[in-house]
Amino acid sequence: MPGGRDDAAADHVSGGRRPGKSGTREQILAAARTRFAESGFDGVSVRAIAADAAVDPALVHHYFGTKRNLFAAALALPVDPETVLAQVRAVPVDEIARAVLRAVVGLWDSPQGAAVIGAFRTVLGGGDPQLIRSFILEVALKEVRARVDTPPGSAEVRVSLAASHMIGILVARRILEIEPLASMPLDELVERCAPQIQHYLTGPIEV
C-alpha cells in the first residue's frame, strides 16, 4: 500500500522487474511525476513508484538516493531540498520565518533558480499545481508545521497563511518583477517581510 515512508535502499530484486538500462532513470521520473501529482509527496512510496515504472525499488535508490531527492528531480529542482530544510532546523522557532524566507528567496535569486521559476510559470499558465503545492506544504514547510502547532490544531492554518504570503513575495519578485521588490536586496526583503510571516507561524491565533 502506498505510504509516506521512504522505503529502505536494501529492497531485494523482485522477479519480473526489469534491470537498470538506458532510459530507466527517465522511466522512473515519469512514474514519479504521475504518482506525486495524483497523491502528493506523503501519499506515495518508493515501492509504488518502482512498481509503476516496472523496476526494482533498489534502482530508484540507485538513481536518486531518497524519495525527497526523487521528488526534487521530478520537479526539476536544481538543489537538494535538504539544503533548505537544514537551515530551518538550525534555528529556534522564533526565527523560522527568517530562515525559510532567506533560504527560499535566496534559491530563486540564484543562477539555479531558473528551473523553479519555470515551474511556477507553468502553474500560472494553467499547468497542474499539485507538484508545486506538494513541494511547498509536504516538503519545504513540513517540518515547520510540526514546530508551530501551538495551540494544538493550529499548524495547518498557520502554515497555509505563511505559504500564501511567501508565494506572493516570490511571484511579485521574480515573475511579475514588481519594483522595488524585484530589485530589493535579500537582507532588506527578509527584514521587511519576515515579521509578518513569523506572526502567522507563532503569533496569537484562534482555532
Question: Which residue in 101, 106, 170, 97 sits closest to 132, CA to CA?
Answer: 170
The three-class DSSP label of residue 143 is: helix
Q: What is the pLDDT of residues 169-201, one digit of tens each?
A: 999 999 999 999 999 999 999 999 999 999 999
Q: Over range 47-70, report the average pLDDT.
A: 93
Distance CA 99, CA 157 (A): 20
- Determine the pLDDT at residue 22: 58
Q: Which amino acid does the sequence have at 35?
A: R
Highest mean pLDDT among 5-19, 35-49, 106-120: 35-49
Q: In whole angstroms, how far apart are CA 133 and each of 101, 112, 119?
A: 17, 20, 11
Which set of grid coordinates corresponds to residue 5? Answer: 515512508
* Cross-strand bridge partners of residue 178: none
Query: Which domains are present in the chain?
Result: 1-74 (1.10.10.60), 82-202 (1.10.357)
Q: With beta carbons less than 8 A apart as the criterion, state whether 116 and 78 touch.
A: yes
Q: What pTM was computed for the model?
A: 0.69
Which residues are CB-neighbours of 156 under 8 A, at least 6 positions away? 145
- As a whole number, mean pLDDT of residues 134-148 equals 81
Distance between CA 50 and CA 16 in Å, rounded? Answer: 12
* DSSP label of 78: S
78 pLDDT more than 70: no
Query: Which DSSP symbol is given to 82?
Result: H
Q: How far apart are the first and last CA of the chain?
A: 33
Q: What is the DSSP letter of 183?
A: G
| Gyration radius (Cα) of the chain, Å | 18
Task: Quote the CA–CA distance of 205 and 200 in Å, as a whole number.
Answer: 8
Rounded mean pLDDT, 26-37: 89
- CB neighbours of residue 38 within 10 Å: 12
Percent share of the chain, pLDDT over 90: 47
Chain-centroid distance of CA 186 in Å reads 21
Q: State the pLDDT at residue 193.
A: 98
